[in-house]
Amino acid sequence: MPLPSATAHAILRRGVPSRSLTLLGEYLGIGKGVLADLVGIGRATASRKVPSDQPLPIHAAERVLRLLELQCQAEDTFESPSTASAWLRRGHEMLGGETPLEWAQSWYGAQRVQELLVALKHGGVV
């Protein structure tokens, strides 16, 4: 479920701590390196920032929020955190064989993933 824009903006202005990458990776069931790629920071940068808990760059912080929102929406659709994260990690034919997480690297891709989740939940057409 999307965060209210004012809430998301406030979170981004305060800064998203880099340790959130470790927690998000565990939550989504993906490794730190893959997650670093998904949020748009180099693996070496992620390895350096996480132990010192430096704030993430704004583009990476926005992607962290986007991934959290998609996971929450997938959990609402599938009613199971493990099924939701597995769906997000699996290639999908309506995404050209790419995973929903890969599509979520852009705002437009994330919108398409959300459309798929809504259609799955409510039996609609995509």
Question: Residues 17-30: pLDDT tens digits?
Answer: 999 999 999 999 99
Burial 101-115 (b: 16+ CB within 10 A, else e): bbbbbeeebbebbbe
Domain count, the chain: 1
Give backbone dihedrals phi and psi of 76, rounded to 5 degrees, phi first: -65, -35
> pLDDT: is 82 or 123 the higher one?
82
Calculate mean pLDDT across residues 25-36: 92
Domain that holds residue 116: 5-122
pLDDT at 82 over 80: yes
